[in-house]
A and B are shown apart, each in its own frame.
Chain A
Amino acid sequence: MRLSIEHIVPIPMKDRISEYNSRVWNQKLTFNSGERIFIQAPSGTGKTTLIHFLYGLRNDYEGKIHWSAFKMHEINTEQLSQLRASAVSVIFQDMRLFPELTTWENLEVKRRLTNTVSEYDAEKWMDRLGIKHKMDSTASKLSYGEQQRVAIVRALLQPFEWLIMDEPFSHLDHANRQRAIALINEVAEMNKAGILLADLDDNNYFTYTRKLLL
């Protein structure tokens, strides 16, 4: 699946956008399937806004975003669900877990949607990220770091061609981050998926094919 971005400009930032020397806003970009993209976005440059545009959560922008045949400005709710369930997965900065559900229930809500990952794998991945013992804790009782690891495993419990991530490791220590990166790498390769990661500072978490400044 190819991601094309054509001159997108967030309407609320329209007047300020020319001040940035952005390599993304108001540019024409094409990301081929399987690419690993890093977008470095200092505070206030619209990192989360970009992720929300790409995932179809907001549409207050000018320009066009295409996920292969899916045109985000014309997409209907059913197509958007299809895109989210089987092609584009996401890890939000604010995790977005169901606070009232347990860790396992949070994962099952996602896994059962497509049933493409086995329960065994899900459990194994929890174990790898060190959250298996928190399986029956409600999400609201988990620490930020634990919540972030649940959000990471959840994003992997569906088929995807692209994984987009917004500061996915902000609450993780070095060791946990390395385990998460290894898991993401492995599952993304299994899915032959591309990766798009947005973060504040430069990093080499993955072997990026392109680095862009927002």
Chain B
Amino acid sequence: MKPLKQSKLVSKLLLRHRSNNRLWISLLALFAGTTLLLVAVMIWWNFSLILNGSVNNDSLGSTFLTIGKNVTNEMMGKKNASLFTPRQIEAVAAAPQVEDVGMLISNRFPVYASLSIANGFATDMFLEAVPDRFMDKRPFGWSWEPGNTQVPIILSSDFLNMYNYGFALSQNMPQLSQATIQALAFDLTIGKGGYTEHYTGRVIGFSDRISSVLVPQSFIEYGNKTFAPTIPIAPSRLILKVNDPSDKRFAEFLSKNDYTTNSEQLRWNRMRSVVETVASGTGLLAILLMGIGTLVFILFIELTIAKAKQSLSLLLLMGYSPRYLAMFMLRRFVPLIIIALGMSAIVATTIQDIASTRLISMNISLPDSPGLPVWTALILSAGTLLIFVTRSIFTALRSNG
């Protein structure tokens, strides 16, 4: 007497007529479709991260723009003509696509910097501050309170580049690395005449986002209050977080008000529409492939059941319940679907890992594994697929039982 498993017997009766070719083709189409879908979502997701500035990629340009007033001949000589009035700031905040507005406030007091180790290096300079939420980097030590003698400085990396590739080469001076600059301590003297204060300034980081010499906002506010209490504090430049700078209405707003911005920063955003086209094209193809895969899979199941019609009705006759038989079919085929989708997930994870590793050398940092939108797409497509397959199994059993 040989022990026989019930599922083996049922399998022998119901799945004997299955066409394995159809099964593999449908699984392959499902795998390819799901992989493409995940890749499409990943393209869209990674670029959203870059464009919305959730990751640190200002070298690509970003949706943070600094705007100022175009300095014209008529404005020359009018001292505050280039400053933004509160009403103008409100108008900018309400402009199309603008999500957030921050003020770049500059010093209204003299700042004199000297480098004690290089005797003779001394200059008048300017400082600016922006609210911290607009900063691309907030290195350790980025804070200042009245009474602190150390003032942290963040320098635009453009300035260092200008020095290294322009000034240093032409004047036969040594080029400086970021680390060298960070090791130097400047003497900062602020104020004039009888009352001055002395501080030690240290560059603690470099910004790709803001072309300026930045100090903590608290330091500028303290200096302006102490040395220029009568001058109203108004920003000369504004920093904007913009949803989609490629929006025509936003560009029109800027030109109508004669505001200037670094138009290079808009360039990357034009790529967004290209990327979105690529992502939606891939997505469409993915949905088409998944549709075909699902269809072939469902046809495979229907055909298998139809071919086993006689055995199926005999099993029902003997007391096998339609639910048992449906569950039997599901237990057979759902794991295959899950394996196909799992392989897609593995491919997607690998692609993301490779992409993030490769792009590090281009100064673009991406997460090394796919994020929530990718997994959501996977779960949604798996759910839809399973619903279709389950329904087709029950329908086929009903019509053949």
Measured CB to CB, the closest approach of chain B to A142, in angstroms, equals 16
Choose, from A11-19, A101-109, A172-180, A201-209, the stretch at the interface. Answer: A101-109
Q: Across the interface, name the chain B residue whose C-beta is closest to A157.
A: B318
8 Å CB contact of B317 from A78, A82, A96 = A96
Q: Across the interface, name the chain A residue whose C-beta is closest to B315.
A: A109
Interface string of B275-315 (1 = CB under 8 A from A): 00000000000000000000000000000000000010011
Question: Contacts A77-B401, A81-B322, A104-B4 given: A98-B317 contact, CB under 8 Å?
Answer: no
* A-contacting residues, B309-331, CB 8 Å: 311, 314-324
Q: Does B267 count as interface, using CB distance less than 8 angstroms?
A: no
Q: Are B321 and A108 in contact (CB under 8 A)?
A: no
Q: Across the interface, name the chain A residue whose C-beta is closest to B318.
A: A110
Q: Does B274 count as interface, using CB distance less than 8 angstroms?
A: no
Q: Are B4 and A96 in contact (CB under 8 A)?
A: no
Q: Does A84 count as interface, using CB distance less than 8 angstroms?
A: yes
Interface of B is mostly: helix
Q: Are B319 and A57 in contact (CB under 8 A)?
A: no
In Å, the complex CA distance between A109 and B14 comes to 12
Q: Does B183 count as interface, using CB distance less than 8 angstroms?
A: no
Q: Are B13 and A109 in contact (CB under 8 A)?
A: yes
Which residues on the A side are within 8 Å of B3 (C-beta)?
119
Q: Across the interface, name the chain A residue whose C-beta is closest to B325.
A: A81
Which residues on the B side are within 8 Å of A78 (C-beta)?
321-323
Q: Does A75 count as interface, using CB distance less than 8 angstroms?
A: no
8 Å CB contact of B319 from A84, A100, A108 = A84
Which residues on the B side are within 8 Å of A123 (C-beta)?
1
Q: Does B2 count as interface, using CB distance less than 8 angstroms?
A: yes
Q: Does B16 count as interface, using CB distance less than 8 angstroms?
A: yes
Q: Are A81 and B1 in contact (CB under 8 A)?
A: no
8 Å CB contact of B9 from A57, A84, A112 = A112
Q: Does A213 count as interface, using CB distance less than 8 angstroms?
A: no
Q: Does B6 count as interface, using CB distance less than 8 angstroms?
A: yes
* A-contacting residues, B1-51, CB 8 Å: 1-6, 9-10, 12-13, 16
Which residues on the A side are within 8 Å of B6 (C-beta)?
108-109, 112-113
* B-contacting residues, A75-89, CB 8 Å: 77-78, 81-86
8 Å CB contact of B314 from A77, A82, A83, A98 = A98
In Å, the complex CA distance between A86 and B318 comes to 10
In Å, the complex CA distance between A105 and B315 comes to 13
Question: Contacts A57-B317, A112-B4 given: A77-B322 contact, CB under 8 Å?
Answer: yes
Interface string of A144-163 (1 = CB under 8 A from B): 00000000000000100000
Q: Are B320 and A81 in contact (CB under 8 A)?
A: yes
Interface residues, chain A, CB within 8 Å of chain B?
Answer: 55, 57, 77-78, 81-86, 96, 98, 100-101, 104-105, 108-110, 112-114, 119, 123, 158
Which residues on the B side are within 8 Å of A112 (C-beta)?
4-6, 9
Q: Are B1 and A109 in contact (CB under 8 A)?
A: no
Question: Contacts A112-B4, A113-B6, A119-B1 given: A81-B13 contact, CB under 8 Å?
Answer: no
In Å, the complex CA distance between A73 and B314 comes to 21
In Å, the complex CA distance between A96 and B4 comes to 21
Q: Across the interface, name the chain B residue whose C-beta is closest to A119.
A: B1
Q: Are B318 and A109 in contact (CB under 8 A)?
A: yes
Interface string of B235-279 (1 = CB under 8 A from A): 000000000000000000000000000000000000000000000
Which residues on the B side are within 8 Å of A55 (C-beta)?
317
Q: Are B13 and A84 in contact (CB under 8 A)?
A: no
Which residues on the B side are within 8 Å of A86 (C-beta)?
319
Measured CB to CB, the closest approach of chain A to B157, in angstroms, equals 71
Q: Are B314 and A105 in contact (CB under 8 A)?
A: no
Question: Contacts A98-B311, A119-B1 given: A113-B322 contact, CB under 8 Å?
Answer: no
Q: Are A113 and B320 in contact (CB under 8 A)?
A: yes
- What would be 7 A-B contacts, judged by CB atoms less than 8 Å apart? A81-B320, A82-B319, A105-B9, A108-B6, A113-B320, A114-B319, A119-B1
Q: Are A108 and B4 in contact (CB under 8 A)?
A: yes
Q: Are B321 and A81 in contact (CB under 8 A)?
A: yes
Q: Are B12 and A85 in contact (CB under 8 A)?
A: no
Q: Are A113 and B319 in contact (CB under 8 A)?
A: yes
In Å, the complex CA distance between A108 and B6 comes to 8
Q: A83-B319, A96-B314, A112-B6 are in contact. List 17 more A-B contacts (CB 8 A).
A: A57-B317, A81-B320, A81-B322, A84-B317, A84-B318, A85-B319, A98-B311, A98-B314, A101-B12, A101-B13, A105-B4, A105-B9, A109-B318, A110-B319, A113-B320, A119-B1, A119-B3
In Å, the complex CA distance between A98 and B314 comes to 8
Question: Contacts A98-B311, A123-B1 given: A113-B317 contact, CB under 8 Å?
Answer: no
Which residues on the B side are within 8 Å of A109 (C-beta)?
6, 9-10, 13, 315, 318
In Å, the complex CA distance between A110 and B318 comes to 7
Measured CB to CB, the closest approach of chain A to B18, in angstroms, equals 14
Q: Across the interface, name the chain A residue whose C-beta is closest to B397.
A: A77
Q: Across the interface, name the chain B residue whose C-beta is closest to A78.
A: B321
Which residues on the A side are within 8 Å of B311 (C-beta)?
98, 100
Measured CB to CB, the closest approach of chain B to A79, in angstroms, equals 9
Q: Among B311, B317, B319, which residue has the most Cβ atoms of chain A within 10 A?
A: B319
Q: Are B401 and A81 in contact (CB under 8 A)?
A: no
Q: Are B13 and A98 in contact (CB under 8 A)?
A: yes
Q: Are A101 and B319 in contact (CB under 8 A)?
A: no
Q: Are B1 and A82 in contact (CB under 8 A)?
A: no
In Å, the complex CA distance between A57 and B311 comes to 15
Which residues on the A side are within 8 Å of B12 (C-beta)?
100-101, 105
Q: Across the interface, name the chain A residue whose C-beta is closest to B5.
A: A112
Q: Across the interface, name the chain B residue whose C-beta is closest to A136.
A: B2
Q: Are B317 and A104 in contact (CB under 8 A)?
A: no
